[in-house]
Structure 1
Amino acid sequence: MAASAAVASTAPQPLRPRAAPRWALGNLGVASSHRALPLHDRGTRRLAVSASSTDTETSARGGAERFYFNFTGFPFPLGPFLNRRTIRTEAVKGRIWLFEQEQALGFSSVSTNTRMTVVKLKSGGLWVHAPIAPTKECIQLLKELDAPVEHIVLPTFAYEHKVFFGPFTRKFPKAQIWVAPRQWSWPINLPLEFFGIFRAKPLKDEDEDTPWAGEIEQKVLSSPEVGIGPYVEVAFYHKPSRTLLVTDAVIFVPRQPPECISKESLLASAKNGLAVKILSKGKEVPDEPVMDNQLNRQKGWERMVLQILFLGPSNLLEPNSSFAQMSQKLIVSPIVKTLVFSKVPEKVRDWVDSIAADWPFRRIIPAHFSAPVNASRSDFLAAFAFLDEFLPERSAASPGLPLLFASLMGKAASYFPPDDMKTLSSLDEFLVSVGAVKKTVSGRKR
């Protein structure tokens, strides 16, 4: 996700949207907020994924309504290349909606979901966070909310979100455009206008002068010390619904795949290809056709998750054990933890502590995997408990019961299977040796 080199790219605009009928689908793995589905229980705390509606909305049509041509994104273009299904879910009744599309890594069989969040402001207009591909279907589902788009926000530097920002903003020329600061691209650092992003205003840390300041607050994490470019992410807090919005800071991996991921992608991942053979620990890998059934779709999802989180997990042939340890809890992605947050622990800790101190949120909406996640400030702090390894003096200076409790929970949230971490750790050492990422620049040195 955002830990990859962030290269901004343009994507051609799809055809002009037109009306399409809707139909309701079961919301896979999502329960009503009045009957939240328990996904993780630590005894005194419970995390769950919930939505205020058990229905998802999507177009009854495919084909032209879902067409979007995209071969941009260096070094791996982001698929699907021609067809993107959009799923709309009401997360907070009458206030917040989630729009999801499949996002594939290049020409591989690895996919996840990418999410756009839409908030209805008191003005009656819409505030759009992290736009996705503006297909006919996506734009139509947005217009069905029957409110004007007033603000469009790019909360990160990462190219998987930036790639659709310019084309999306051109669909709403009257909207105000806002972008996270310190945008950059690689291997050539080009201005935003080159990527079709015009009239953009920078998002500032704790800015009280934004048009939405009375309803949505913001905190900027900007760390230039990470590597060839800064890591930048803006967190938002929607005060009326007590909702925290992040991009890649934390994730909650669901037990079952998001609805927007196609069965073709899941079955392709279930096949015993080259990656499975390499990571099979010398076991015999059967070469047989993959039947379309729930077991194989689940296997495909588990393999996808482990490759997204670890790049080279220890055993793709039998992914169940590692998947069970990584799913159903609020965590920081192993890639983001290893390549980004462990490099600048003091800055990340300041950002995390500020969020937890100032914002009494009760749910979190990330840009990938499950959302919304019913989670408190203690759950959020627990996901970042690994920072104590780099800042032992700081964590010991202010123990406090809430922090001690978060630390205890964090031992589980921050634990990643050592065998699965080997490839990522080796990659980290290599990137440090060539200067692509840096060693820890604050706290305890590596």
Structure 2
Amino acid sequence: MRRTTGYEPLNVPKPFGTDLWIVDGPHIRFYGLPFSTRMTIVRLPSGGLWVHSPIRADEALFAAVEALGPITHIVAPNAIHYAALPDWQARYPQAKAWVAPGVRARAASRRVEIGPAEELGLEACWEGVLQGHLVTGSKVLQEMVFFHAPSRCLVLTDFIENFDPAKLPWLMGKLVALAGIVRPDGRMPPDMRATFDKVALRGHVETMLSWQPERAVMSHGEPWQSGATARLRRAFARLLDQA
């Protein structure tokens, strides 16, 4: 029997803000541990859909997404979240694919064939409503974070993790609690944070704070329904105090 994720129903778009939906997927195994999966969908003013961190999809999910509008952009935001991108590219060849630095190299090392895609630069913008900012300063992982102005939502991948231990197997629950990446105020995983230059990271956090987000979606754990600016500030309080 497959263990539930606690975020059911799965593979169903769920409204999370103005022209924004989240889709929770099944657990995947990463280093032998179960991680919940989530993608985010934004409807742009043109009516086209921007798909962030696409998850493995079946026909029912493809149909549900298509009902929201035509898929015009597909984004692999860091070098860990790319595995399902080729499936979405094959399904929607007319969509423009975007990949964060490091995605192509990691995919190639795992023999995952990514189709035509543009590498994300330091900043990006889609139709004036969706901003992207590349978090640099780590030799291990670069992630582009996003802010959707109409919903005042921060769209993250692994930059913040906010697990609910009650929704995880016992061992995984203990590990995330020990790492401090648990609800209600999750934070950047300590092993990831240790790879960053502090000055560079502080600058990226300040950029996100300047957006004044009200809510936030992350790929792993419980989304922040409110108070995202204050929660983000608490997650990096010590770093910000060093300025």
TM-score, normalising length from structure 2?
Answer: 0.84
Partners of 1:144 and 1:88 in 2: how far apart?
10
Q: Which amino acid aligns with 2:173?
A: V
- Tell me the CA shift for residue 378 of structure 1: 2.5
2:26 is paired with a residue whose SS is strand
| Residue-pair matches, total | 237
Question: 2:199 and 2:30 mapped to 1: Cα distance?
Answer: 34
Equivalent of 1:177 in 66, 73, 97: 97
Partners in 1 of 2:219 and 2:212 — Cα distance? 20
- Number of the residue aligned with 1:120: 43
Pick one of 132, 135, 160 that aligns with 1:250.
160
Give 1:133's aligned amino acid.
R
Deviations 1:178-207 (A, max 9, x none): 111233546xx8389x62212201112223
Judge conservation of contact 1:129–1:152 (CA < 8 Å) in 2: yes
Q: Is the 8 A contact 1:117 1:130 kept in 2?
A: yes
**Structure 1 position 380, deviation (Å):** 0.4
Match of 1:330 in 2: 185
SS in 2 for 1:352: helix
Asked if structure 2 preserves the Cα contact closer than 8 Å seen for 1:102 and 1:114, the reply is: yes
Structure 1: gaps of 5 or more residues? 1-27, 30-55, 59-84, 258-299, 314-321, 389-394, 398-446
Aligned to 1:218: 132
Cα deviations by residue, 1:239-284 (Å, 9 ceiling, x for unpaired) = 1111111101112233653xxxxxxxxxxxxxxxxxxxxxxxxxxx
1:341 aligns with 2:193: yes
CA contact (8 A) 1:115 1:367 kept: yes
Structure whose residues are more often strand by fraction:
2
**Whole-Å separation in 1 of the counterparts to 2:102 and 2:83:** 16
Name which one, 1 or 2, has greater alpha-carbon Rg: 1
Q: Distance in 2 between matches of 1:251 and 1:376?
A: 13
- Over the matched positions of the two proteins, sequence identity in percent amounts to 23
> Is 1:139 paired with 2:62?
yes
- Distance in 2, matches of 1:372 and 1:353, equals 18
Hey, what does 1:150 align to over in structure 2? 72
Q: Secondary structure at the match of 1:198?
A: coil
Aligned to 2:150: 240
Q: What is the aligned partner in structure 2 of residue 383 from structure 1?
A: 235
| TM-score, with structure 1 as normaliser | 0.48
Structure 2 residue 10 is the aligned partner of structure 1 residue 102 = no
Which residue does the alignment assign to 1:263? Answer: none
* Conserved 8 A contact 1:250-1:330: no
Q: Decide whether the 8 Å contact of 1:365 with 1:371 is kept in 2.
A: yes
1:429-444 correspondence to structure 2 within 5 Å: none
In the other structure, the counterpart of 2:208 is 355
C-alpha distance in structure 2 between counterparts of 1:129 and 1:143, whole Å: 15
2: distance between equivalents of 1:349 and 1:213? Answer: 28
Q: Distance in 2 between matches of 1:214 and 1:90?
A: 21
Kindly tell me: are residues 352 and 195 of structure 1, through their superposed partners in 2, closer, same or farther at Cα, counting changes over 3 Å?
Answer: same
Of residues 4, 7, 13, the one that matches 1:88 is 13
Which of 151, 161, 174 aligns to 1:306? It is 174
Distance in 1, matches of 2:40 and 2:209, equals: 21
Structure 2 unaligned residues grouped into runs of 5+: 1-5
**Equivalent residue for 2:3?**
none
SS in structure 1 of the partner of residue 123 of structure 2: coil
Partner of 2:220: 368
Shift in Å, 1:103: 2.0
